[in-house]
Amino acid sequence: MKKIAVVGTGYVGLVTGTCFAETGNNVTCVDIDERKVEQMRQGVVPIYEPHLDVIFERNIKANRIKFTTNLEEAVEEAEIIFLALPTPPGEDGSADLSYVLGVAETLGKIIKEYKVIVDKSTVPVGTAELVTEAVAKHANVPFAVVSNPEFLREGFAVDDFLNPDRVVIGTEDEKAKQIMTELYKPFIRDGHPLIIMDEKSAELTKYAANSFLATKITFMNEISNFCEKVGADVDMVRKGIGSDSRIGHKFLYPGIGFGGSCFPKDVSALLKSGKAVDYHFEIIDAVLRVNEGQKTSTVDKLVSYYGDLSGYTFALWGLAFKPDTDDIREAPALYIIEKLLQQRAKIKAYDPEAMENVKALLGDKIEFVDNQYDALEGAEALLIATEWGAFRNPDFDKMKELLATPTIFDGRNIFELDRMETEGFYYSSMGRKT
Ligand code: UGA
């Protein structure tokens, strides 16, 4: 059992704290937001993440996780302090480290014995050094700073945390290596490694992983666009290349571009980090450019199909950047909405989880409806922006009754071409025959 403080109860902090409690540790989560802390004390999970509520409740009951706004108290008890603080993109696209460095400086003032300070946030190469300097300004006891990037995906966060493909620990402090290895022991099984390296390599591993995955998706999106031009089927090409074990089947699904709070931010930050040392990432630069165009490629298809879009009403299924989340950060659906509104089209939107977030952003610029079928009523065509499970097996007869014409523009390839033909839909998807 280890005593842990997790500073910052955003997405990563909350999952980290809860999952460490689940493996028998004693966790104190710290946040400056009093209302949120009070909510969590009542057992309310402030984010939507499948399975998190169950283990959250279990560990509160077992007294293994508690919540406070008092950093000093939490730190005093803890042997390991995780920093899971926001690192929003600054005006120039580089990560803003003011939260991380601010807390690091405070830690320097309050630690009274050796502590392991762990960076869990995605931070640029060299941040561990800056955190060390910030803590050292006031600290008069030894401490170690560790980079321990997180690779969990929204929607699968609990499972990814409890069953990681790998754990990366960046530190050259021997005592910290031992403490971190003991902490992660319950998660290291089935041959999935714990990889210990220096701090900078650990920091870069996170950016390299996200940028590689974003590149893999973008590459497939370009192949998909080319398939449309030459009449090939991207599904076949995807299966064909994915069977090569060096390529693998994952992250080869073409669509309306990658979004979310991680890929766009991290890919931009890597490009920016390169610039800072006079290195230009050609591939990363191209990935960002291709992704921009990809997000609104479905609207381009609408324009070539209908011509002028003004006066048309379109149904939009899916607002979240991907299924099983209410997260709309950098969601392709928002770019589609923006472009459709510019073209003076009307939108009736439905999403199982993300509507409140979009309402807060767009107000009454678009119409929100209570279920997926209400969106279709009187709409010229349906656009699919997120591949929610509930959209995959709909009542096609009802859809045909409600839509003005049986027309679907699918940005996520959720239906089979044969089925669409049998059902009598005009079906335009990504990289497949129309
Ligand atoms: C991503 C990474 O997958 C995690 O490993 C990482 O820890 C996380 O960022 C982070 O840095 O915190 P996440 O943003 O939750 O996780 O979402 P993904 O499931 O990776 O999807 C990202 C985007 O790529 C989505 O917009 C999704 O629709 C798109 N995507 C994904 C595709 O277009 N095609 C695919 O084949 C896969």
In a domain, 80, yes or no: yes
- Residues 384-410 have a mean pLDDT of 97
What is the number of domains present in the chain?
A: 3
Instruction: Looking at the structure, tell me whether residues 44 and 156 fall in a common domain.
Output: yes
Q: How many Å lie between the centroid of ligand 1 and the Cα of residue 116?
A: 30
pLDDT tens digits, 52-72: 999 999 999 999 999 999 999
Q: How far is the CA of 80 from the centre of ligand 1 (A)?
A: 29
In a shared domain, residues 187 and 216: no
Do 152 and 176 have their domain in common?
yes
- Judged against a pLDDT cut of 90, whether residue 236 lies above it is answered with yes
**pLDDT-derived band of residue 21, with 50, 70 and 90 as boundaries?**
very high
CA angle, 260 then 263 then 267, to 5°: 145
- ipTM, 2 dp: 0.96
Block residue for tokens 């807390």: 103
Domain boundaries, position 221: 207-292
Stretch 397-420: mean pLDDT? 97
Query: Is the distance from the beta carbon of residue 264 to the nearest atom of ligand 1 less than 6 Å?
Result: no
Q: Same domain, yes or no, for 19 and 123?
A: yes
Distance 278 CA to ligand 1 centre (A): 28
Is there a single domain that holds both residue 144 and residue 286?
A: no
How confident is residue 154, by pLDDT bands cut at 50, 70 and 90? confident
For residue 92, pLDDT over 80 is answered with: no
Give me the pLDDT at residue 90, please: 77
Q: How far apart are CA 302 and CA 291, in angstroms?
A: 18
* Helices 199-230 and 234-242, axial angle in degrees (round to 10): 140
User: Quick count: other Cβ atoms within 10 Å of Cβ 67?
Assistant: 22
pLDDT in tens, 107-137: 999 999 999 999 999 899 999 999 999 999 9
Domain CATH number, residue 164: 3.40.50.720
Q: Is 367 annotated as a binding residue?
A: no
The rounded Å distance from CA 210 to ligand 1 centre is: 8
152-156, 281-285, 320-324, range with the lowest pLDDT: 152-156
Q: Which of 262, 292, 297, 328 to mutate to test the pocket of ligand 1 (most atoms within 8 A of CB)?
A: 262
CATH for 248: 1.10.1040.10
List of long-range contacts for 333-338, beta carbons under 8 Å, 24+ apart: 333/358, 333/385, 333/386, 334/358, 334/361, 335/295, 335/296, 336/256, 336/295, 336/296, 336/298, 336/299, 336/383, 336/385, 336/411, 337/362, 337/365, 337/366
Q: Look at residues 197, 228, 248 and tell me which one is the last residue of a structural domain.
A: 197
Please indicate, yes or no, if residue 434 is contained in any of the structural domains: no
Residue 202 placed within a domain: no
Do 300 and 417 reside in the same domain of the chain? yes
Q: Does 58 sit in the ligand 1 pocket, CB within 6 Å? A: no
Q: How far is CA 354 from CA 319, 332, 358, in A?
A: 6, 13, 7
Q: What tens digit of pLDDT does each residue of 197-224 get?
A: 999 999 999 999 999 999 999 999 999 9
Section 399-419 average pLDDT: 97
Our mutation pick for probing the ligand 1 site, out of 152, 161, 163, 270, counting the most ligand atoms within 8 A of Cβ, is: 152
Count the alpha carbons within 13 Å of 366 in the hemisphere toward its beta carbon: 34
- Check whether residue 213 and residue 306 sit in a common domain: no
pTM for this one?
0.94
* Residue ID of nearest Cα to ligand 1 atom 3: 153
When mean pLDDT is compared across 190-194, 230-234, 340-344, 415-419, the lowest value belongs to 190-194
Residue owning the nearest CA to atom 17 of ligand 1: 153
Of the residues 197, 223, 249, which one is the last residue of a structural domain? 197
Tell me the per-residue pLDDT of 303-315, one tens digit each, with 9 for 90 and over.
Answer: 999 999 999 999 9
Is residue 229 domain-shared with residue 364, that is, in the same domain? Answer: no
pLDDT for residue 49: 87
Annotation says 227 is catalytic: no
| Residues pairing with 368 in the sheet | 349
**Burial letters 178-191, b for 16+ CB under 10 A, else e:** ebbeebbeebeeee
- Residue 369 and residue 375 in contact, taking contact as beta carbons nearer than 8 Å: yes
Ligand 1 atom nearest residue 253's Cα: 36
Average pLDDT of 367-375? 98
Residue 276 and residue 229 share a domain: yes
Among 292, 315, 340, identify where a domain stops: 292
